[in-house]
Amino acid sequence: MIGAARRVAAIAAGVAAVGALGVVTRLPYAAAGGGEAAVRLSWRWRAAPVEACRRVPPEELARRPVHMRRAVVCGRRMVSYRLRVAVDGVPVVDERVEPRGLLGDRPLSVHREVRVRPGVRWLGVSFVPETGDARLPAPSRLDTVVVVAPRGVVLVTVERAVRGRSALRVRTGPG
């Protein structure tokens, strides 16, 4: 008798839980953040190597083994880049992007998201080498006006353009 009562109570509890779930799923839901939108920066960039050489002083040369005595010693490193983002003239990102990998020889990766208000927005993005060497390739700068929908996304990427040059490009769409 007690076992049957438990079964009936379990079935009633299950039906009540399913009914409550049905009611809750029909309640209106507003996403967190209201109608905020996003600017997503996403690309990979192969950094250019820079060679730095120095003259070895004679006293340092004298301390080295004969087979390692070079008057000029050079080392290579990959260039870091500076990423800056401004929305409506207000700086929102200013960071250094360094090559990845144990030896710092892997491509640079940019994956950032900046929350913005929907509407017409001026977007400024710059991605330039920190060395100041104008000969180094870079997708460089983007200054544009974008229309951002509520909960929409503006995607900034690097695309190959004509004659092998690259440039920052914008795509807009729903989130």
Stretch 26-41: mean pLDDT: 74
pLDDT confidence tier of residue 160, bands split at 50, 70 and 90: low
Stretch 65-87: mean pLDDT: 88
Given the candidates 3.30.70, 3.40.1000, 2.60.40, 2.40.50, the CATH classification of the domain at 33-47+80-174 is 2.60.40
Contact between residue 125 and residue 142 where contact means Cβ atoms under 8 Å apart? yes
98-154 pLDDT, tens digit each: 888 877 778 889 999 999 999 999 999 998 888 766 566 666 788 999 988 888 899
| Burial class of residue 98, CB neighbours in 10 A (0-12, 13-18, 19+) | middle
Q: In sequence order, what are the residues at sequence separation of 6 or more whose Cβ sits closer than 8 angstroms to the Cβ of residue 104?
A: 77, 78, 98
Q: In sequence order, what are the residues at sequence separation of 6 or more whose Cβ sits closer than 8 angstroms to the Cβ of residue 172?
A: 146, 147, 148, 149, 152, 153, 154, 155
**Across-strand partners of 168?**
158
Q: Is the pLDDT of residue 30 over 60?
A: no
What is the model's pLDDT at position 83?
93
Contact between residue 125 and residue 144 where contact means Cβ atoms under 8 Å apart? no
